Structure formats: structure tokens, C-alpha cells
Amino acid sequence: MNEMDEQLKRALQRCEPPDGFAERVLARVDREPSPTAKHLAWTLWHRPALRWATAAALVAVAATGIGYHIHQRKEEAEAKTAKQQVMLALRITGSKLRVAKQRVKAVERGTDNVGKTL
């Protein structure tokens, strides 16, 4: 170390801040929210395991939602098919009943004619 280095070190000694500096800093700190809550949020986000767990939970929630949606759609489709089948069955039954009624009427008319003839 040469003469200039020594002189610079002596000349550039640290100097104290104005009186009451620490108190003014602490007063400003008192107005700050506790760093603990912020730290917790930061920690949760910046820990890889927790980040992966959060991502996995989000994927699980999304998958459950999609699964539920698909299930709902399937049930709706099945209900629609069943309704169509019931309507078809009712239509078939209705037409069969009409045919049967016409035949009954025809038979009744034939019997009347026989009775009249006798």
C-alpha cells in the first residue's frame, strides 16, 4: 500500500449522518405494514415446491370443471334421446290405437248390418 492509498483511506473515513437519523428512519418504518405478510406471499410464490403444488391444484380444478361440463353435456344428450324415443313411442301407440279404434268401429258397423238383416 503506497502513500496515496493511506492518505485516501484517512481522508475518506466514514462520516456520521445528521442527529436523529435512525429515529427518522424508524418513524418511517413504523408507518410501513409488517414485512411478514408480504414475506409469506413472496415465500409461497417463490418456493418451487409450492409453486408446482399451486399449478397442480389449478390443473386439477380445471380438469374437474371440464369433466363436469362433459358429464353434463352427455346427460343432456341422453335425456334428449330418451325424450325423442318416448315421443316416438307415443306417436306409434297413438297411430296403433287409431287403427284399432277404426277396426272396432268397422266390426261394430258389420254387426249392426247383420242384426238389421236378421
Binding-site ranges for other proteins (CB under 8 A): 2-5, 7-18, 21-22, 24-26, 28-29, 32, 35-36, 38-39, 42
Q: How far apart are CA 99 and CA 107, in angstroms?
A: 12
Q: How far apart are CA 37 and CA 108, in angstroms?
A: 93
Question: Which of 12, 114 has the CB closer to other proteins?
Answer: 12
- Minimum separation from the CB atom of position 50 to other proteins (A): 15
Q: Is-contact 77 84, C-beta < 8 A? A: no
In the numeric block, which cell numbers belong to residue 44? 409461497
- Minimum separation from the CB atom of position 21 to other proteins (A): 6
| Cβ within 8 Å of residue 50, ≥6 positions away | 43, 44
Question: Which of 24, 83 has the CB closer to other proteins?
Answer: 24
Question: Which of 37, 49 has the CB closer to other proteins?
Answer: 37
